[in-house]
Amino acid sequence: MHFALLSPGALVALFSGVALLTAFLYVLKLRRRPFAVPFSPIWQRVLRDKDASQLFSRLKGLLSLLLQLVLVALLVLSLGDPRPAAGAAEGRSVVVLVDTSASMQATDVLPTRLDGAKAKVEELVQGLGVADRMLIAKMDASVLPLTTMTSEPADLRDGLRHLVATDTRGDLRRALAFAGDALRGAPHPEIVVVSDGALDTENATAGLDLSSTPIRFVPVGKSGKNVAITGFSVRRYPLDASRYEVLLEITNTNDAPADVELTLFGDGNIVDVSRLSLKPNERLPRVYGDLGGASRTLEAKIRLPSGPDDLPADDHAYALMPERRRARVEVVTRGNTYLEAALLLDEYLDVTTVAPSAYRPDGAFDVTIFDGVAPEPPAHGGALYLSLPGAGSAAPGAPGRAERSGPVKVGRALTDFGFDTWDRKSPLLRFMAVENVQIARGHVLVPEKGDHVVGASVAGPILVSGRREGRAFVALGFDPRESDLVLRVAWPLFVLNVIHTFAEEDASYLSAYRTGVPWKIPVTGDGAVAFVKDPLGIRHEVPVQDGRAALFGDRAGFYELSVGDDGQKSLFAANLTDPAESHIEPRKELKLGGKTARPVEGFHAGVRRELWVYLIAALALLSVLEWFSYHRRITV
Amino acid sequence: MGMVDFWRKPARAATSRVTASDLFGEGFQAKLESLAIVSRRVFAGRMRAERRSKKKGSGVEFADYREYAPGDDFRFVDWNVYQRFGRLLVRLYEEEEDLSIYFIVDCSASMGFGDGRKFDQARRLAAALAYVGLANLDRVAIIGVSDEVVAQVPSARGKGRIFKLLQFLENLETGGATSLADAVATVVAQHKRRGLAVLVSDLYDPAGFERGINVLRYAKFEPYVVHIVDRKDARPALRGDVHLYDCETGDEREVTVTDALLTRMESAYRDHLADIERFCAKSQVPYFAADVDTPFDELVLRVFRRGGFLR
């Protein structure tokens, strides 16, 4: 026996003080009500008979005092919160993994499956044996212990209160690995998984040594009617950034067909409403093209006309379009109509044209296009070199000495060549077809180590990208006007691809992140930490590394990212979009490594380990007895 | 003011009395007359002054013999006895005289306890019996006693004196302790003429009710006990921790009143009544228990039927 709240010495002192006070109050005489009688000798006769049993009366009085002292002792003992010490090493060590993945937000168990899971865990807590210990951990894409390995029901219940379902998928393997680590060396280990079974059980136990740790399963959930948005992204059209297209995928996880009403919101306003019919278990991808009316945020909501499904969490998806920032472009040229025409296609460009003699390297431009010139020092931002100078010294076809011009060296001259190889994944060539470009004259470029050859003829590289002293560049080994490139659609695409790449307005911009995985969000500005406000409005401090903020998001919705207190704020979106997590049909059993997890055993509610509860109960019972005996004049 | 007096106040405040006009009003007087008529019916044939006293005197009814003593009237010497036995014996005769009835009414504080019903009942009974006595041409006196004689009205004859008696009874007040022996001894000493002594009391005498009755017996009075009984004395409406005190003596006692205690109290009260009745029977003293809850005229008739009051 040990006392959790007060030491034995403090209890003795407390009892002594209260007992003395009780005894003092006990011996105080009660002021009695005066009452006249006509003839006291008869009363005396009666009371004389009573006096005959005075010893017994005194004993009854003493009994009353003893009863009061027992009450005080029980009260003081309960204040000490006594706990049985024996057998602490003999009890079970239980890790309870409570599924808090998105499927646990299903409402087939009211109010949610997670609340049903909490009730089940509460039963386990109530059924803990005197020497048992338990640890409660939440299990979604990550594992987070909410309590220590403790035998305190109050602590366990407190941890239970912090269970919140997230918009992520459950990672059973990670949770089992954690549980195995937590139970290593613990007596009588046991893992209890409280879940709806919507988990990846294929390789959950692979590589884990859980042979000596029985795994129990507590199923939660009743039904699994659900239609989900399992894919949602948006992009702007490169040549008309005011328009965009949406890729959407809706999955019917039921064995029955479902009609769905889909609503798209742009910047909070309804953009499109349509009705879809899905066959049983159908995944229906849809592309909504040439949409307008939104500049930043896009949301998709589905609704079942027949009534809400069981999981509202995946009925709502979010996306964010790339921000339309005006890129500052400086063109250093002696005049190039094709280049000027290409730059006119994007209304979000601020173009400044200067003659080579008027070029100033300290200009604040996102992109500088050098047309046939390569002045030193180069620009601060990105640089596109068209037809690097100096290349004219070598005769076409003759192996000349490579001369440095701008960021790269210019090699021998070429005639009548084209793109024989090119990097199809390079963002510089996105949406372009360059295989038939005819080039009259040009030069081979000599890339340095670390440079990337984007396009090359059989004679050598003709399109190179790279960095020099932290400044990005793209160099073209020929004058576009010496080719039919300027007559193709590919020409303005190439120019805009280069500008967007330098201005970080990437056409492959990720419109939404997926919850439950680590995110690396590009940040603007300097700083080692950034601040992220999640969809619930909670502000988190996250580290910044290599210009990207790293965080683990578990909520679908829009996030706000900022660096420093007065840093520029930017938005990004996150979605669940996980077909596996949207399959919420509850499973009655859990198969792990070919074995079926057994139901929990040995948790018998009603056996409490807090002795103070019994002490208080005894105190209440004795108080009732005392009240009864006093008012029935038994102990007075 | 002592603590006991301080405590007594609430109990006193609870006392309420029947006013004098209510006590002996017209209705009461009408009942008295009817009682007198009823008493004549019950004791038909009885004549005035025909009650024979124990006193030996000059009547015509032979009573006994005694030795001749110098100075005796020679006319009462039984010469036939002298002739046969040679002894001088004087014949004694019972003297016929009118009856004296003394109503000794207990005026102690216990009689006025509570709502004073006992004292009211006692006064009504005394008044009714006195009226019957006056109607039978007996000599009636009423004496109020506590631990002493507090007031008295001299013996009187004739129905016409009833109003004086009623007024006397109306003016009686309760108070003081009870000591029947002392009070009755005073009465006996003050009244040489023996007769019927009707003791109307609750008999709450700390020194013992027997002593007062015995004083009457030993003084050659014919005691008649009318015991005023109030059942509320046995089971007061009382619970819990109380400080009991005697309304006469002030004796105090701390008591926790329970149902069990009240039951024992009732039992003790019944024993007390039984002791009184047993004593009276043993002493051949007519005893009559008058419950305050019984109408007094009914009680008077019971007294008549029980006998002993009128012969």
Q: Mean per-residue pLDDT for A249-277?
A: 89
What is the C-alpha separation between B184 and B220, in angstroms, rounded?
13
Q: What is the mean pLDDT of residues B288-294?
A: 89
Nearest to A127 by CA among A600, A604, A602: A604
B256–A636: do the CB atoms touch at under 8 Å?
yes
Whether B247 and chain A come into contact, CB under 8 Å, resolves to: yes
- List of chain B residues whose C-beta atoms are within 8 Å of the C-beta of residue A35: 11, 236, 238, 242-245
Residue of A nearest to B255 (CA): A47
Are A467 and A452 spatial neighbours (Cβ–Cβ below 8 Å)? no
Chain B residue closest in CA terms to A32: B242
DSSP letters for A85-137: -TTTTTS-EEEEEEE-SGGGG-SSSSS-HHHHHHHHHHHHHHT--TT-EEEEE
pLDDT at A398: 44
Task: Give the mutation candidate from A31, A43, A45, A64 for the B interface (greatest B CB count, under 10 A).
Answer: A43
**B109 or A614: which carries more pLDDT confidence?**
B109
User: What percentage of chain A carries pLDDT values higher than 70?
Assistant: 88
pLDDT at A394 over 70: no
Average pLDDT over residues B35-46: 53
Q: At residue A504, does pLDDT exceed 70?
A: no
pLDDT at A301 over 90: yes
- Smallest CA–CA distance, residue A69 to chain B, in Å, is 23
Segment (H or E) for B252: strand B252-257
In this prediction, residue A128 carries a pLDDT of 82
Nearest alpha-carbon partner for B109 in B22, B223, B196, B201:
B201
Quick one: pLDDT at residue B18? Answer: 46
Residue of chain B nearest A636, judged by CA positions: B256
CA torsion through residues B111, B115, B121, B123, sign: positive
What pLDDT sits at residue B9? 40
pLDDT at B85 over 80: yes
Strand order in the sheet with B100-106: B149-156, B139-145, B100-106, B196-201, B222-229, B287-291
Quote the CA–CA distance of A303 and A181 in Å, as a whole number: 43
- Angstrom distance (rounded) from CA B73 to CA B87: 16
Between these two residues, A202 and A510, which has the higher pLDDT value? A202
Residue A566 has pLDDT above 60, yes or no: yes
Cα distance from B9 to chain A (closest Cα, Å)?
Answer: 9
The rounded distance, in Å, linking the Cα atoms of A542 and A522 is 12
Q: What pLDDT, in 10s, does the model give residues B179-205?
A: 999 999 999 999 888 888 999 999 999
pLDDT at A403 (0 to 100): 59
Nearest beta carbon to residue B261 from set A34, A44, A46 = A46
Give me A223's structure tokens. Answer: 């039904």
Q: Which residues of A touch B11 (CB under 8 A)?
A: 34-36
CB contact under 8 A, A636 and B202: no
| pLDDT score recorded for residue A78 | 85
Which residues does chain A have within 8 Å of residue B245's beta carbon, measured at their own beta carbons? 34-37, 40
Mutant choice from B204, B230, B249, B270 vs A, greatest count of A C-beta within 10 A: B204
Q: Do A40 and B251 touch (CB under 8 A)?
A: yes
Residue in chain A lying closest to B233 (CA): A38
As a whole number, mean pLDDT of residues A548-554 equals: 87
Q: Do B241 and A33 touch (CB under 8 A)?
A: yes
Rounded to 10°, the helix B162-171/B117-135 angle is: 170
Residue A172 in this model has a pLDDT that exceeds 50:
yes
Interchain proximity B206–A41, CB inside 8 Å: yes
Residues A391 and A375: their CA atoms lie apart, in Å, by 15
Instruction: Supply the pLDDT for residue A519.
Output: 87
Alpha-carbon gap: B249 to the closest alpha carbon of chain A (Å): 8
Distance from CA of A38 to the nearest CA of B (A): 5
Instruction: Look at residue A395 and tell me whether its pLDDT is greater than 70.
Output: no
Are the Cβ atoms of A36 and B241 closer than 8 angstroms? no
Q: Specify the DSSP class assigned to residue A280.
A: T
Mean pLDDT for the stretch of residues B99-123:
90
pLDDT at A333: 92
Model confidence at A507: pLDDT above 50: no
**Beta-carbon separation of B11 and A35 below 8 A:** yes
Q: What's residue B8's pLDDT?
A: 43
Average pLDDT score over residue span A318-325: 77
